[in-house]
Amino acid sequence: MMNNFSSKEHVEFFGVKFDLVTMEEALERIARIIEQHNLTQYVGVNVAILVMAQRDKELRNILNSCKFITADGLGILWGAKLLGIHIPERVPAVDLMLNLMPIAEKKGYRMFFLGASGKVIKKAVEKCKSQYPDLQIAGYHSGYFKKEEEEKIVEEIINSKADILCVGMPSPEKELFIRKNLQRMNIPFAMGVGGTFDVIAEKVKRAPIWMQKMGMEWIYRLLQEPRKMWKRYLVTNSKYAWMLIKTKLYIKG
C-alpha cells in the first residue's frame, strides 16, 4: 500500500499516518498537550506493529485514530525511504519516555507506570526515583492482570490524577487498553512504551549506541531473548521485506 497522504506535518506509510517530528519537537509537543489537557494517545510504530496492523483491523483503526504517532526504529525510516517517503528521524518510545522524565520532574508532571511484572515495575520505579528524586510517580501497577482486574486498575489510574501514563505491555494489548480507557482516565498524554520498564530495571540491556545507529538493535535483543523475540524479528522482518518488495515493484510497474 503506497502512501496516499502527505503534508508538512504527516505522511502515510502502509496505511499508518506518521508525524514528521524530531525527538526535540516531539518533547515540545507533549508539553503542549499536557498544558492544554488535550487527551492524546501516542504510539511509537515499529516494524512489528506496522506489519501487525496490516492484518489486525482493530489495531489499524486504533492507529488511525491516534493523535500522535512516530517512527520507532530505523526499519521504518529505511523502508519509507525506499518508497520515496521522507521521515526526518526515528523517535523510539523508549527514548521518548527516558527523555520525558527529566522534563516531567522539572515541570511537576505526574506519571503513572503500568506494565512488566510486579518485581520489574517496582525496580523500575526505584531506579527512576533514584535518578530523578523530584519526579512525581503517581502510581504503578504490573502489566500482568486478569480481565476482571482491569476496572480496578483504571480506577487506580483515575485517582492518581496523572498527567502521563506509560503502558509497557505487548501490542496490541497496550494500544487497546489506552484506546478503551483514555477518556475515562482523563490523562492528557498516554503512551505505549513496550519493554521500556525491562530496560530501566536492567532486566534487558539495550544495544550499544553504534548498533542502535546502524539499525542492529534488534539483533542484540534477539541474542538476549531468542525464545521470546525470534518470531517477532525473523518472521515479522521477512513479512515487512516482502511488503516493501511488492510495493516497490508495483510502483516501478
Looking at the domain assignment, is residue 3 inside a domain? no
Share of the chain above pLDDT 90, in %: 79
64, three cell numbers: 488511525
Assess if residue 6 is contained within a domain.
no
- Which pLDDT value is given to residue 205? 75
On whether residue 143 sits in a domain, the answer given is yes
Model confidence over 92-127: pLDDT tens digits? 999 999 999 999 999 999 999 999 999 999 999 999
Print the domain residue range for 68: 12-252
- Residue 135 has a pLDDT of 98
Contacts of 133 (CB under 8 A, 6+ apart): none
Q: How confident is the model at residue 209 (pLDDT cuts 50, 70, 90)?
A: confident
Average pLDDT over residues 62-69: 95
More confident residue, 26 or 215: 26
In a domain, 126, yes or no: yes
Ramachandran sector of residue 210 (left: φ over 0; alpha: ψ -120 to 50; beta: rest): alpha
Does the residue 99 lie in any domain? Answer: yes
Residue 4: pLDDT over 60:
no
User: Does the pLDDT of residue 207 top 70, yes or no?
Assistant: no
Q: Is there a domain that residue 164 lies in?
A: yes
Q: How many domains does the chain have?
A: 1
Count of alpha carbons within 13 angstroms of residue 126, beta-carbon side: 9
Strand partners, 140: 113
In a domain, 178, yes or no: yes
Contact between 225 and 195 under an 8 Å Cβ cutoff? The reply is no
Query: Taking 80 as the threshold, does the pLDDT of residue 217 lie above it?
Result: no
Grid cell locating 36: 492544554
Quick one: cell of 96? 521518548
Question: Which residue would you say has higher pLDDT here, 211 or 78?
Answer: 78
Question: Does the model's pTM come out above 0.85?
Answer: yes
Q: How far is CA 85 from the centre of its chain?
A: 21
pLDDT band at 3, cuts 50/70/90?
A: very low
* pLDDT tens readout for residues 138-179: 999 999 999 999 999 999 999 999 999 999 999 999 999 999
